[in-house]
């Protein structure tokens, strides 16, 4: 069994590339069905920081190539961009290490952020429903989630952790200064919208307006903030009076374009407008940046603030890495047992077949024995076989470094073939 990973993330690729390969949650099922044409088993993890495809296949398939071809064919990324921005990890342990670090929030823009743990679990659940998960992939993801939880419980990595939403508010404060007289518009009432709303409310922003595709969702979020909902189709009217706009909708198209913002700015040319677009793909047409008195930021612009967060958490990263190493060892032992299980059980079955056949032959040549005598012979022969196999099986199960070679040698020595697990 081989597990590989192909991905693009915030460290390897800018938003302009990440947004092309981002898979929205509503599209995940569709993309998993496309992945099925390339691999029997796979999981897609697509968040604002990354799009990654984990693939499990038999040893004779090149899973790295499979992942690359999936990216190229279905995510419309040219091969030159793929070479430049994508990472391919084909060593199973390195794949696990990457996923464990990701689940722990060490690979996030905001170190220790919580959201990624739910996103890893969600990626597993959706792939399970699509029938794309086999035992090794499931165990890999479940181990990553357990590691992510342990790191958050046993270190201070997430204590007072920043989140994208709190960094958004920090950025707005840097640009505008005091937020207490600001009118803030949030576009998107999903999880990100909720987190941003909470962060701005906690900082005392008095006037919060929410727009979302589904009016009821906008109303529900606005109600929790003492704010008001607005119609997504009437954004220009709202832009005229706003100081800050945060966009976080999972829309495939621009929600705010140059036309909208220009129309609004004509009514308020002197008043600056800060637009922070944290959606991936972006919700705001990049040319909006050219409009006078408009200050447009995207999720990559949060990097500077998040770097300070990384420095503060250096010590916790060391503690988290120790937990990750221990969990990786446990996973390696599990993989080893899984890989050797067919060889071990076939060898034991073969030995048992020989033992019972030989015992039958012998019993036929002897005088009729009592049941007690037959039981003694049965127990003795079983114990001889178990003792002979004990050391080789122990060696096979515990020598993980050269497991493939050992497995092959045993099969050659004892002359049998095994079906490897899917």
Ligand X SMILES: NC(=O)c1ccc[n+]([C@@H]2O[C@H](COP(=O)([O-])OP(=O)(O)OC[C@H]3O[C@@H](n4cnc5c(N)ncnc54)[C@H](OP(=O)(O)O)[C@@H]3O)[C@@H](O)[C@H]2O)c1
Residues that bind ligand X (CB under 6 A): 25, 48, 115, 164, 188-193, 195, 212-214, 217, 248-251, 278-280
**Closest approach of ligand X to the CB of residue 121, in Å:** 13
Phi, psi (deg, nearest 5) at residue 160: 50, 35
Q: In the numeric block, which tokens belong to residue 210? A: 């929410």
Among residues 401, 413, 355, 364, the alpha carbon closest in space to that of 382 is found at 355
Which one, 140 or 164, has the nearer CB to ligand X? 164
How far lies 392's CA from each of 2, 335, 388, 397, 399, in Å?
25, 18, 8, 9, 11
Which one, 285 or 339, has the nearer CB to ligand X? 285
**Closest approach of ligand X to the CB of residue 111, in Å:** 14
Q: Which residues are catalytic?
A: 48
Cβ partners under 8 Å of residue 368, min gap 6: none
**Closest approach of ligand X to the CB of residue 187, in Å:** 8
Among residues 70, 82, 4, the alpha carbon closest in space to that of 37 is found at 70
SS3 annotation, 43-60: EEEEECCEEEEEEEECCC
Which one, 5 or 248, has the nearer CB to ligand X? 248
Which one, 1 or 186, has the nearer CB to ligand X? 186
* Strand, coil or helix: 11: coil
**Closest approach of ligand X to the CB of residue 345, in Å:** 45
Residue closest to ligand X, measured at CB: 190
How far lies 133's CA from each of 3, 57, 71, 306, 346, in Å?
12, 11, 19, 34, 26
**Closest approach of ligand X to the CB of residue 42, in Å:** 21
Q: For tokens 């990701």, what's the residue? A: 102
Q: How many Cβ atoms sit within 10 Å of the Cβ of residue 190?
A: 17
Which one, 133 or 248, has the nearer CB to ligand X? 248
Q: For tokens 């919060």, what's the residue? A: 208
DSSP 260-319: HHHHHHHT-TTS-EEEEE--SS-SB-GGGGGSTTEEEEEGGGGHHHHHHHHHHTHHHHHH
Please say whether the beta carbons of 299 and 277 come within 8 A. yes
**Closest approach of ligand X to the CB of residue 211, in Å:** 9
Which one, 105 or 188, has the nearer CB to ligand X? 188
């Amino acid at each position: 069994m081989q597990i590989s990973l192909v991905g693009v993330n915030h460290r390897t690729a800018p938003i302009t590339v990440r947004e092309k390969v981002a898979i929205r949650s509503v599209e995940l099922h569709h993309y998993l069905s496309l992945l099925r044409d390339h691999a029997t088993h796979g999981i897609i993890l697509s968040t604002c920081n990354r799009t990654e495809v984990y693939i499990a296949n038999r040893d004779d398939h090149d899973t790295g190539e499979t992942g690359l071809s999936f990216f190229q064919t279905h995510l419309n990324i040219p091969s030159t961009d793929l070479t430049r921005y994508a990472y391919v990890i084909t060593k199973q342990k390195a794949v696990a290490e990457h996923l464990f670090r990701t689940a722990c929030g060490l690979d996030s823009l905001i170190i220790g952020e919580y959201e990624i743990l739910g996103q890893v679990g969600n990626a597993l659940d959706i792939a399970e429903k699509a029938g794309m998960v086999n035992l090794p992939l499931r165990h890999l993801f479940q181990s990553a989630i357990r590691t992510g939880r342990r790191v958050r419980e046993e270190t201070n990595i997430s204590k007072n952790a920043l989140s994208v939403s709190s960094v958004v508010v920090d950025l707005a404060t840097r640009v505008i200064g005091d937020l207490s007289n600001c009118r803030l518009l949030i576009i998107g009432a999903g999880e990100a919208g909720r987190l941003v709303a909470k962060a701005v409310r906690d900082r005392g922003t008095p006037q919060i307006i929410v727009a979302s595709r589904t009016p009821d969702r906008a109303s529900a979020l606005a109600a929790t903030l003492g704010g008001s909902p607005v119609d997504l189709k009437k954004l220009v009217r709202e832009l005229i009076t706003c100081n800050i706009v945060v966009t976080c909708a999972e829309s495939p198209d621009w929600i705010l374009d140059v036309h909208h913002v220009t129309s609004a700015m004509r009514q308020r040319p002197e008043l600056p407008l800060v637009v922070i677009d944290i959606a991936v793909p972006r919700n705001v047409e990049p040319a909006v940046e050219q409009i006078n008195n408009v200050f447009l930021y995207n999720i990559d612009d949060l990097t500077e603030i998040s770097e300070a967060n990384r420095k503060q958490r250096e010590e916790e990263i060391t503690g988290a890495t120790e937990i990750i190493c221990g969990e990786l060892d446990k996973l390696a032992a599990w993989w080893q047992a899984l890989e050797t299980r067919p060889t071990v059980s076939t060898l034991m079955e073969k030995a048992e077949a020989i033992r019972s056949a030989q015992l039958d032959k012998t019993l036929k040549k002897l005088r009729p024995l009592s049941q007690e005598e037959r039981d003694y012979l049965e127990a003795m022969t079983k114990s001889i076989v178990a003792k002979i196999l004990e050391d080789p099986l122990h060696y096979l199960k515990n020598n993980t470094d050269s497991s493939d070679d050992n497995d092959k040698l045993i099969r050659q020595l004892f002359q049998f073939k095994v079906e490897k697990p899917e």
